[in-house]
Amino acid sequence: MRKELLELTGALKGHIVAVREPGRGISGLYLKGDLRARSLPPIDSVPDNKATHVRSETLDDIRAELGDCTRCKLYSGRHHIVFGEGDPHADLVFVGEAPGGDEDRQGRPFVGRAGKLLSDIITAMGFTREQVYICNILKCRPPQNRNPEPDEIAACEPFLVKQLRAIRPRMICALGKFAAQTLLKTDTPISVLRGRFHSYHDIRLMPTYHPAYLLRNPGAKKQTWEDVQMIMKELR
Ligand code: SF4
């Protein structure tokens, strides 16, 4: 009975999320753990820990400020901080969850098997990796690739916000459940979030499946391709 109730609640929540889209009749509903009804402020208004700005921070400034970071416990197990790479003025930024083993060893984002698939997706979109920006919510690898923990996100996400403020992309593609749910502050399943645009500090955000998930579930590539086609249409 309890299981049935949980399933029913999940299905109802998914339905409400779907019909709450603009022009579909329901607006202003707030679901627990879902901040999309409360829109995040524009990225320029997010408080910064610097008292004054003589000029906008560049990615190099932000990397220098991050330094040899020990702001959360993940510092102790890392080989390299994976800050992010690509065009500092990219229209499109891909945000994943956290570095894996290959990324930790090389200090670069998305360089393993999943990274190869992401590179293929970027190429199919008509871009090179150098023309977009690729980063993660966390810049250090969690042990055994476990999920990021709230204190780690709290310590590291401000640097992602700064990066996005410096880049000023037109579009973010959130790769996978964890990136999408963390950025959108929601527990809505990725299968419900994907396929339509959301807002992250006034930047359009499209969630889609993580390349590692696509390697395990190649049948989902079709949906990811639909998502990236929507991004391409929007960026034209
Ligand atoms: S994950 Fe982020 S906050 Fe934590 S140590 Fe690494 S760079 Fe610092």
pLDDT score at 4: 52
**Which residues contact ligand 1 via a Cβ below 6 A?**
66, 69-72, 74-75, 81, 138-140, 152, 155-156
Nearest alpha carbon to residue 178 among 151, 148, 142, 205: 148
CA dist 33 and 48 (Å) reads 25
> If pLDDT is split at 50, 70 and 90, which confidence band does 29 have?
very low
Q: Virtual CA dihedral for 163, 188, 210, 107, nearest 10 degrees?
A: 30
Pairing of strands 85-86, 92-96: unpaired
Q: State the distance from the centre of ligand 1 to the C-alpha of 203, rounded, in angstroms.
A: 24
**Percentage of the chain modeled with pLDDT above 70:** 79
In ligand 1, the atom with minimum distance to the C-alpha of 98 is 1
Indicate if the pLDDT at residue 32 is higher than 60. no
Indicate if the pLDDT at residue 28 is higher than 50. no
Over residues 38-49, the mean pLDDT reads 64
Indicate if the pLDDT at residue 208 is higher than 60. yes
199 within 8 A of 205, measured Cβ to Cβ: yes
Q: State the distance from the centre of ligand 1 to the C-alpha of 138, rounded, in angstroms.
A: 6
Indicate if the pLDDT at residue 35 is higher than 70. no
Please state the pTM of the whole predicted model. Answer: 0.82
Over residues 143-153, the mean pLDDT reads 95
Q: State the distance from the centre of ligand 1 to the C-alpha of 69, rounded, in angstroms.
A: 6
Mean of the per-residue pLDDT values for the chain?
Answer: 85
Which amino acid, one-letter code, is at 59? L
Record the tokens describing residue 12, joined without a space: 């109802």
